[in-house]
Amino acid sequence: MQILTLQNVKKEFGDTLLFDKVSFLINDNDRVALIGPNGNGKTTLLKMIIGEEEITSGEIIFAKGAKFGYLSQEVIKDVNHTLYQEIESVFTPLMIKEKELSELEQKLSNDPNNQTLIDEYGKKQTEFSLLGGYDYHYQINMMLSKFGFHKEDLTRVLSSFSGGERTKAAFVKLLLIKPDLLILDEPTNHLDIATIEWLETYLKSYRGALLFVSHDRYFIDALANKIVEIDNHAAEVYKGNYSFYVEEKKIRYQNMLNAYNNQQREIAKLKRFIEFYKPKPRFVSRAKDREKKLEHMKILDKPYENKNKLKLNFHGESLANKEIIKVDDVTIGYDQPLIEHINFSLFGQNKIAIMGSNGCGKTTLLEAIVSLKHILQGEIRYLRQINIGYIKQHQVDLNPDLTVAEELLKDFPSLGEKGVYNHLGKFNFDYEDANKKIGFLSGGEKMRVVLAKIILENYDVLLLDEPTNHLDMVTRQALTLALKDYQGSIIFVSHDRYFVDELATHILYIDHHKPYFMEGNYLDFKEKEASLFSLSDELEDEKKPVIKAKVVSDKPKSKRSPLKLEELINKTEAEIKKVEEDLFKEENYMDYHKSQALEKKLDALKADLAKLEEEYLS
């Protein structure tokens, strides 16, 4: 069933065309990623779909009765509610039914043999159960836990939360509402790695359709079955994920270029024929035939190729294989420790990614390395003279009252005005953009200004805190390539798994105040994650029992009687029920690692059960 249809949608701001002839369909269960360079209208298109922005021309049609949900803080209806009250309001109809059941229970306690009450209670209880009445509290707590909220947050008034925290609360509420079409604009912003990966898994099984804007390549690849690219004022639809889009785009461009070149050769051939034969009386009619053919030919435009114009080149001394910074048994924090017993060394050309949940101390660790502050124990030593460049996540050190060109000229007067404009051109700032005041720039544009400045310095070590935030795909790719070629060393915080995989030589992962340091990128870390954590747990508490699911061998079992198989099936079913009950316990669903371990155990047990049943029926 079609949920949403866009037909020849056009958007203009005054005389400026944003896009034209945008047409695509979203069916139920579609996962549509809206991509394209910053400033090409992706967010504007989303706002047109939800009715917050006017359409210049064309049609946007929702299926009759279809409901959409758009992620914004407006999803929160009352900031005077506690977090739990606001999220619980999603289930108001169930709460009314729950109250009715409670009232019936009270009546039955006073009149236990009243058959009418018994029948009514049975009917309402069945309806309540089918609607999920006995697990909606679990759903609320599980969702809030996955998005990083703690038990003490549940009773906090929403007005006391930060903007990012309210956005996450709105996200939880929206996911629990379960609209027919879920519309998300940069849904992975403000989320840590664990939450992003959990969200991917959740959205894969989401029963409605999904339309989302994202610059997270792995997130798009994991979810999308359709890509809509807005670029050069037009939209192209690709039926597949991001990896498919990358290859298909190359094929389409080459096919269009071949068709264009073939037509240009045909046009040139016709023109030569006309020019040569038209003056000759005997061949005038033939020449006129060629003229008619040329007049009626539908001329193809030369295909547009969005080449990566960003050519970044960071300068820095390599100091290859030389130890530069040593972090020796360091504990960092404020009143209380954030990360304890950190040990690692930074060598020349190392690129260390610091990862972990929000609030675990990643930014504080960067600040400790650059300023030697927030150190509660241990020592951070610089083993040689180095020049450090530091890009902060939220504190961009730019003057909002200066233009982009003035900002660069202030710090690099030797470039001269012409040199500044030429340099900014490498970062996709044309003359008009270079003369915009910084206060009017987007987050991505400000980051490009910071990169334009830092690239002019000769830093031996770069400390980067979420450098890809707000950057589009083109800029992210250019930055990734530049940093890969950078001869200096890098310590960086990032939740962008593709960026980490392309760049990192080492991972420092923070979990529950503990650091885990290993060589490799994020994929390497994921392969070793379970063993890293379990090894740490064993060292901390050797007596702690390890929960392991029974594994049924893939090899066929011989001579197991039906009675024995029935016994094994019943036992496995009981174990499954026990694990499902454990998942509903607060101490488990409020702890990410416990819930993950139980979910893995549940999957293993279900696989065992399927094999046992297959053997029983064979």
SS (H, E, C) 334-394: CCCEEEEEEEEEEEECCEEEEEECCCCCHHHHHHHHHHCCCEEEEEEEECCCCCEEEECCC
Domain's final residue, options 486, 503, 537: 537
- Residue 488, SS3 per DSSP: coil
Specify whether the CB–CB gap between 471 and 215 falls below 8 A.
yes
Q: Is residue 549 part of a domain?
A: no
Same domain, 504 and 398: yes
Same domain, 372 and 482: yes
Indicate the range of 23-27, 429-433, 460-464, 513-517 predicted with least confidence. 429-433
Indicate the range of 50-54, 56-60, 72-76, 227-231 predicted with least confidence. 72-76
Same domain, 141 and 215: no
What CATH number does residue 12 fall under? Answer: 3.40.50.300
Q: Is residue 554 part of a domain?
A: no
Q: How many angstroms separate the Cα of 399 from the Cα of each of 255, 407, 435, 446, 499? A: 47, 7, 13, 11, 29
Residue 378's pLDDT band, with cuts at 50, 70 and 90, is very high
Hey, which of 67-76, 172-181, 274-283, 440-449 has the most confident mean pLDDT? 172-181
Same domain, 399 and 488: yes
Rg of the chain over all Cα atoms, to the nearest angstrom: 30
pLDDT of residue 47: 93
CA distance 348 to 178: 50
Over residues 141-159, mean pLDDT? 89
Q: Is residue 305 part of a domain?
A: no
Mean residue pLDDT of the chain comes to 86
Same domain, 421 and 365: yes
Residue 396's pLDDT band, with cuts at 50, 70 and 90, is low
Residue 593's pLDDT band, with cuts at 50, 70 and 90, is low
Over residues 190-205, mean pLDDT? 86
Q: Is residue 411 part of a domain?
A: yes
- Residue 534, SS3 per DSSP: helix
Indicate the range of 81-90, 179-188, 308-317, 426-435 predicted with least confidence. 308-317
Examine the pLDDT at 331 and tell me if it is beyond 70. Answer: yes
Examine the pLDDT at 549 and tell me if it is beyond 50. Answer: no
Over residues 59-67, mean pLDDT? 93
Q: What are the pLDDT digits (tens) for 100-135?
A: 999 998 998 898 888 998 888 889 888 888 888 888
- CB atoms closer than 10 angstroms to residue 140: 20
Over residues 425-431, mean pLDDT? 84
Q: What are the pLDDT digits (tens) for 228-258?
A: 999 889 999 999 999 999 999 999 999 999 9
The number of distinct structural domains making up the chain is 5
In sequence order, what DSSP letters do the residues of 31-45 get, joined into one string?
A: EEEEE--TTSSHHHH
Q: Is residue 315 part of a domain?
A: no
Same domain, 446 and 527: yes
Count Cβ neighbours within 10 Å for each residue of 115-132 and write b for 16 or more, e otherwise: eebeebbeebbeebeeee
pLDDT of residue 310: 60
Over residues 507-530, mean pLDDT? 90
Residue 318's pLDDT band, with cuts at 50, 70 and 90, is low
Same domain, 282 and 209: no
Residues paired with residue 327 on neighbouring β-strands, in sequence order = 344, 380
Indicate the range of 21-25, 65-69, 242-246, 277-281 predicted with least confidence. 277-281
Q: Is residue 308 part of a domain?
A: no
Examine the pLDDT at 503 and tell me if it is beyond 50. Answer: yes
Q: Which residue would you say has higher pLDDT here, 617 or 422?
A: 422
pLDDT of residue 547: 37
Domain that holds residue 465: 323-537
CA distance 380 to 327: 5
Q: Is residue 399 part of a domain?
A: yes
Examine the pLDDT at 544 and tell me if it is beyond 70. Answer: no
Same domain, 150 and 107: yes
Q: Please tell me the pTM assigned to this model.
A: 0.75
Pairing of strands 506-511, 351-356: parallel
Q: Which residue would you say has higher pLDDT here, 170 or 304?
A: 170
Same domain, 196 and 340: no
Over residues 359-388, mean pLDDT? 93
Residue 459's pLDDT band, with cuts at 50, 70 and 90, is confident
Same domain, 348 and 482: yes
Same domain, 443 and 504: yes
Residues belonging to the chain: 618
Count Cβ neighbours within 10 Å for each residue of 461-471 and write b for 16 or more, e otherwise: bbbbbbbbbbb
pLDDT of residue 176: 93
Q: Is residue 311 part of a domain?
A: no
Same domain, 359 and 491: yes
Residue 306's pLDDT band, with cuts at 50, 70 and 90, is low
Residue 439's pLDDT band, with cuts at 50, 70 and 90, is confident
Examine the pLDDT at 543 and tell me if it is beyond 60. Answer: no
